[in-house]
Amino acid sequence: MVDISTAMAAASTERSKRDPDAEKKIRRTGADMGIESFDPVKHVAKEKAETASMWLVIAFSCVIALLMRYVVMGSVDRSKTDILYALPLLCIVLIPTIHRTLMPNKFTELYKKGTWFKAGFLYVFVWLSLSFLLINPPFGDIASPTISGQWGIVSESGDEGYNFTMAAGTVITLEQGYNQSWLVMSFADNSEQSNTTFTVTLANISSTEELSFDDTVFSGISGDTRTLLMPRPDSDSGHAYALPSDLEVGTYRVIIDIVEQGDPWVNPRTLEWDLLIVEPEVE
């Protein structure tokens, strides 16, 4: 029976016979193989320099994000927002200069090309993250309300309830001779809608008419219909607009103009749907 030490010694002797220089290769140091020796003092100094660079880049990113949000953004029209992305990205070229200006020489002499590469990625990440935070509630609001669920038309029925006709995409059909009817939908927003105005108009080739808002209709809608219209009842706001009772057969354009006083911009949105009034089917 052969123990492990004897087996390893035999294997080493066999390797030496096959390759006389094998032992020398094993005993070569890292320096002999071109590997730089580890210097603890130099390593600590480099880590301190990299940490200082990281915090400097984070501070620079925060300053740029705050300036863009509270100085530049408010003075730029929302149709010309390219500068809000282009200018911060161009500021990447300032990173080496800022380091050489603010950092001590014992740090700057340790910075290499890899430092600027990592600093650039960190800058973009922090700037984008903080910018997204600052333009959304509670710090800002640049998005107007959107349709929350389905939309359609509710009409009075004989049993003091409502019949609901759901729209197909952006088109809805209603038979001429309908009972009192309302165009219904709900809106969702990431902030309060008290500073938002909704204007709904009904237009065809010959005329344009603004529809009146009726805040009592949604209280009579319940069950599955209410869920379709208002999937998030705690935050959605229901809207109902009375349709004229004498619409002729034809195609009408429903135009919803939404204007929200956001921060820092006014946030507009326009929705356009088609209402088709058709002749009733003959039984």
pLDDT in tens, 182-239: 999 999 998 778 889 999 999 998 889 999 999 888 888 888 999 999 999 888 999 9
pLDDT average, residue stretch 24-38? 56
Give the residue-averaged pLDDT of 234-251.
Answer: 92
What is the band of 157 on the pLDDT scale with cuts at 50, 70, 90? confident
Please work out, in degrees rounded to the nearest 5, the angle formed at the alpha carbon of residue 176 by the alpha carbons of 171 and 181: 70
Q: Which residue has the higher pLDDT, 48 or 8?
A: 48
Could you give the C-alpha distances from 77 to 73, 82, 103, in angstroms and in order? Answer: 8, 10, 37
- Does 1 score more than 60 pLDDT? no
Residue 5's pLDDT is what? 67
For the chain, domain boundaries: 40-134, 146-278
Peptide bond into 264 cis (omega under 30): yes
Looking at residue 218, its pLDDT comes to: 87
Average pLDDT value for the chain = 87
Instruction: Give the pLDDT confidence score for residue 162 in this predicted structure.
Output: 82
- Predicted local distance difference test score (pLDDT) of residue 109: 92
**Other beta carbons within 10 Å of 38:** 8
With a CB cutoff of 8 Å and minimum separation 6, the contacts of 192 are none
Sort strands 171-175 and 266-278 into parallel, antiparallel or unpaired. parallel
Give the residue with greater pLDDT, 246 vs 21: 246
Which pLDDT score, from 0 to 100, does residue 12 have?
67
Where are any strands of DSSP class E within 230-265?
A: 237-242, 250-261
- Residue 191, classified by CB atoms within 10 Å of its CB into exposed (0-12), middle (13-18) or buried (19+), is middle
Q: What is the pLDDT of residue 27?
A: 55
CATH of 146-278, one of 3.40.50.2000, 2.60.40.10, 3.40.30.10, 3.40.50.10860: 2.60.40.10
The predicted pLDDT at position 156 comes to: 87
pLDDT of 17 = 63
Instruction: Give the count of alpha carbons within 13 A of 186, CB side only.
Output: 21
Among 27-41, 118-132, 137-151, 223-237, top mean pLDDT goes to 118-132
Lowest mean pLDDT among 36-40, 85-89, 114-118, 197-201: 36-40
Mean pLDDT of 8-25: 61
Q: Are strands 162-166 and 208-210 parallel, antiparallel or unpaired?
A: unpaired
What pLDDT, on the 0 to 100 scale, is given for residue 86? 94
- Please tell me which residue, 78 or 118, carries the higher pLDDT value: 118
Position 272 confidence tier, pLDDT thresholds 50, 70, 90: very high
Banded pLDDT at 271 (limits 50, 70, 90)? very high
Range of weakest confidence among 68-77, 104-113, 218-227? 218-227
Give pLDDT, residue 246: 85
Percent of the chain residues topping a pLDDT of 90: 64
As a whole number of angstroms, the distance between CA 48 and CA 115 comes to 13
Instruction: Provide mean pLDDT across the span 78-98.
Output: 92
